[in-house]
Structure 1
Amino acid sequence: MQANKPNFSQKHPLLFGIMLIIAAVALFAGATAALRVTKGNDIPYFAQEKFGVINVEGFIADSRKVSDWAYALRTDDSIKGVVVRINSPGGGVAASQEMYYAIKRLAEVKPVVISMGTVAASGGYYIAAAGHKIIANPATLTGSIGVKMELPNFKGLMQKIGVSYLSLTSGKLKAAGSPFQTMTQEERDYLHAIIMDMYDQFLDVIVEGRHMKREQILPYADGRAMTGKQALAAGLVDMLGDRETAYTELAKLCKLDAPLPLEEGPKKKTNFLKELISTALDLAPVNTVREQNSIQLLYN
């Protein structure tokens, strides 16, 4: 009588064990999602009323993710209000403006409360001006209202190493700010006019968003950073508090007794298969704005 051939689990016990763990994790995740759909209410989870959260983090260089997420929250009827959590020192001028406009459009149709984290300065404060209410921690670093242009210059170094530079342009200001030549007074005046125009745009946004007169803002708009407590005294924020304070204030604006569940974004892209395998193994026992000539214009 011929002996029974070993089955797959007997021939490959380790691989079979890992497959079982992955299947168990997948079933657990599915069951959890199914429970979340109906837990505590009779309407589907995806249709439940929620608060949206927009996270603005780090140096501001690319506005796409934040702007797209703001649009998604604006067009989602289940989102009743939004908290914009800012933890950014600022960044590119145009990117800051795009985020500002995206949140401003959102604020035109839904209540928006700004919650400042460790830092919400320069471009970070520019974005904050779009909200209905701004809340900062007492020690939040904010303000820094201004524009700067960074222009490295290598002319002295090139002369030392015996390298010359020739620039042919269609106009006398085309090469303004070049790191390979000395800046003329005319070029300096030209670039400074660009900075001041963007500075005026910054002030206009604060005047509109904070309902303040220009004269009230100017004493604090010289590039200085300030704490949340100082910003409150200057009228640049509405109150002091933490993230939970922001949710409570948003509930008040939405005429609700308590905050709603949260829908946070922009979503970070993840590889589901990698996460699943990682979980299984854990369970197993075994836009700076950068123009030509290296010119950087920053709300920073």
Structure 2
Amino acid sequence: MQANKPNFSQKHPLLFGIMLIIAAVALFAGATAALRVSKGNSMPYFTQDKFGVINVEGFIGDSRKVSEWAYKLRNNDSIKGVIVRINSPGGGVAASQEMYYAIKRLAEVKPVVISMGTVAASGGYYIAAAGHKIVANPATLTGSIGVKMELPNFKGLMQKIGVSYLSLTSGKLKAAGSPFQTMTPEEREYFQAIIMDMYNQFIDVIVEGRHMKREQILPYADGRVMTGQQALAAGFVDILGDRETAYMELTKLCKLDAPLPLEEGPKKEQNFLKDLLTSVLDLAPVNTVREQNSIQLLYN
């Protein structure tokens, strides 16, 4: 009786094993590529649908994390709508504007509902104007529409301690706002023009985002703070309620039967000592202080 001839796997077990591994890797890579969503999104088709959440908290000094998270949510097809949870008194003008534009671009492709916490004022309200709907608690502090410039002056102190100051500049306004000299009427007019330009930018954002007329906005745009209830009566928010109310409103905008699971961000770096000092001493974040010069323009 003739013995069975050994097959390839028996004759070359090492080579056969290598070929199996290569085939498995190729199959896995092909399946993964086929399941990836288009437009560079790395989330597979079977990923569960979710609501995104963007948390805007504290002093607005750096927009990068919020803007980057908004970009990720915008390009993730599993995110069907977004809640922007704002609990901020405002902050830097440019940082507030950058967050606003990031959320506005997001709102152009997905439903966005703003949920106001304890406070969503000044720069916090600027950002809120990018949403499709704004939900505030009756006691939320919001509004504070305006711009301020803080210019410390130490000239009197320097004179008392006998220290003089000399500044050589290439132009008469180059040293405007210096804390070591008295502001001239021309410098005051110069800075006031800058403030009013940014103020009008603020008003323009509300006109566009809230579909209000300037004459409706201006009586409330003198820096005053409003409660959520007052803001509703004046047309600055749409609905009174809590965070769950915002989820239900987003569910309606997305035409769903029930809210979806949540994907929250950006992730917050925990620094207990820094958070404690910021809270107790009412300090701006350290990185924000470093980025600002002696002239601080604030939606705050």
> Normalising by the residue count of structure 1, what TM-score does the alignment of the two structures yield?
0.78
Q: Write out aligned runs for 1:150-229 (5 A).
A: 150-229=150-229
1:227 maps to a residue whose letter is: T
The structural deviation recorded for 1:45 is: 10
Q: Residue 76 of structure 2 aligns with which residue?
A: 76
Deviation per CA, 1:141-175: give whole Å up to 9, x if none.
00000000000000000000000000011100011
1:52, 1:73 within 8 Å by CA — same for their partners in 2? yes
In structure 2, the CA distance between the partners of 1:247 and 1:293, relative to structure 1 (3 Å rule), is closer
- Measure how far apart 1:267 and its partner are: 1.6
Between the aligned residues of both structures, percent identity stands at 90
Q: Which amino acid aligns with 2:156?
A: G
Instruction: Find the counterpart in structure 2 of residue 24 from structure 1.
Output: none
Distance 1:202 1:196, change over 3 A: same
Structure 2 equivalent of residue 260 of structure 1: 260
Q: 1:118 to 1:213 in 2, by over 3 A?
A: same
Distance 2:213 2:290 in 1: 32
Residue in structure 2 matched with residue 40 of structure 1 by the alignment: none
**Matched residue, 2:274:** none
In 2, are the aligned partners of 1:95 and 1:288 still within 8 Å (CA)? no
The one-letter amino acid of 2:75's match is: T
Structure 1 letter corresponding to 2:74: R
5 Å matches for 1:1-300? 47-269=47-269, 294-300=294-300
SS at the partner of 1:105? helix
Return the structure number with greater relative CO, CA threshold 8 A, min gap 6: 1
Match of 1:15 in 2: none
Q: Separation in 2 of the partners of 1:210 and 1:132?
A: 9
Deviation at 1:290, TM superposition (A): 8.0
Residue deviations 1:165-212 (CA, integer Å, cap 9, x gap): 000111000111100000000000000000000000000000000000
Partner Cα distance (1:155, 1:195) in 2: 24
TM-score w.r.t. length of structure 2: 0.78
Amino acid at match of 1:131: G
Would you say the 8 A contact 1:149–1:195 is kept in 2?
Answer: yes
Deviation at 1:288, TM superposition (A): 5.5
- Amino acid in structure 1 at the alignment position of 2:236: L
How large is the Cα RMSD of the aligned pairs?
2.0
Q: Distance in 1 between matches of 2:199 and 2:92?
A: 13
Partner SS state of residue 60, structure 2: coil
Consecutive unaligned residues of structure 1, counting only runs of 5 or more, are: 1-43, 271-286
Whole-angstrom distance in 2 between the partners of 1:237 and 1:50: 25
Measure the CA separation in 2 of the matches of 1:92 and 1:127: 12
Take 1:292 and 1:120, find their aligned partners in 2: how far apart are those partners? 22
Shift of 1:269: 4.8
5+ residue gaps, structure 2, are: 1-43, 271-286
CA separation in 1, counterparts of 2:46 and 2:267?
Answer: 16
Is the 1:288–1:297 Cα contact (8 Å) retained in structure 2?
Answer: no
Partners of 2:78 and 2:145 in 1: CA distance: 35
- Equivalents in 2 of 1:222, 1:59: separation in Å? 21
**Distance 1:291-1:269 versus aligned 2 partners, 3 A rule:** closer
Q: Secondary structure at the match of 1:294?
A: coil
Q: Classify the secondary structure of the residue corresponding to 2:101.
A: helix
Distance 2:161 2:293 in 1: 21
Deviations 1:57-111 (A, max 9, x none): 0000000000000000000000000000000000000000000000000000000
Q: Report how far residue 268 of structure 1 moved.
A: 2.9
- The CA deviation at 1:51 is 0.1
Runs of 4+ aligned residues of structure 1 deviating over 4 Å after TM superposition are 287-293
The aligned amino acid for 1:197 is D
Question: Secondary structure in 2 aligned to 1:200?
Answer: helix
Counterpart of 2:124 in structure 1: which amino acid?
G
Aligned length: 243
Q: Distance between the aligned counterparts of 1:268 and 1:261, measured in 2?
A: 20
Change (3 A) 1:163 1:172: same
